[in-house]
């Protein structure tokens, strides 16, 4: 009863601001926890062999540059995504993957590392063979960014609580 009276006493701005920060905080924490779980889980996934089907950088304007000898002559300033596809076989069934890693890497570095026709290690989810990555876990300390983002999102909750409780 007191809670309903208190909520009714809040202004629309307080409710909107508090709810927005609460949502942003929850959403950020949820995404970071989900990403951290996937990264950690991939470290213990089984490994199989796979083959790179294609590997190139996609420009924001839709143009593509293929990996290989052109890699050293291209300009990389406007590239923003890696278009990489690989296949692997588990229990006689062929699967295709596009996820290279759950952490952030430079698209240029990924295309330089993985070339069409290369045989690679594929880490796959034993519960769902369609989930796979080529780089498991947190190489190069990249998990620190997810933990930092998780910690940074906590103030959203504190601000939301302050707005809703103290007006």
- The answer to whether the pTM exceeds 0.85 is no
81/142 Cα distance (integer angstroms): 18
Share of the chain above pLDDT 90, in %: 31
42-99 pLDDT per residue, tens: 989 999 999 999 998 876 554 444 445 445 444 444 546 788 999 999 999 999 999 9
Contacts of 139 (CB under 8 A, 6+ apart): 101, 103
CA distances from 91 to 48, 94, 127 (A): 11, 9, 13
Closest CA to 83 of 116, 48, 41, 35: 116
Q: Tell me which residue has tokens 């596809």.
A: 85
């Amino acid at each position: 009863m007191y809670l309903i009276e208190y909520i009714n006493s809040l202004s629309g701005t307080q409710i909107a601001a508090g709810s927005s920060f609460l949502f942003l905080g929850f959403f950020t924490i949820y995404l970071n926890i989900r990403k951290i779980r996937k990264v950690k889980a991939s470290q213990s996934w089984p490994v199989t062999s796979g083959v790179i089907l294609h590997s190139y950088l996609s420009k924001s304007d839709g143009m593509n540059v293929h990996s290989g000898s052109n890699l050293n002559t291209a300009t990389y300033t406007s590239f923003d995504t890696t278009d990489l596809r690989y296949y692997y076989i588990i229990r006689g069934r062929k699967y295709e993957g596009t996820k290279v890693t759950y952490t952030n890497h430079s698209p240029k570095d990924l295309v330089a590392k993985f070339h069409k026709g290369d045989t690679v290690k594929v880490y796959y989810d034993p519960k769902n063979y369609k989930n796979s990555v080529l780089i498991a876990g947190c190489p190069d300390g990249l998990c620190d960014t997810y933990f930092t983002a998780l910690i940074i999102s906590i103030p959203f909750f504190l601000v939301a609580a302050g707005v809703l409780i103290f007006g």
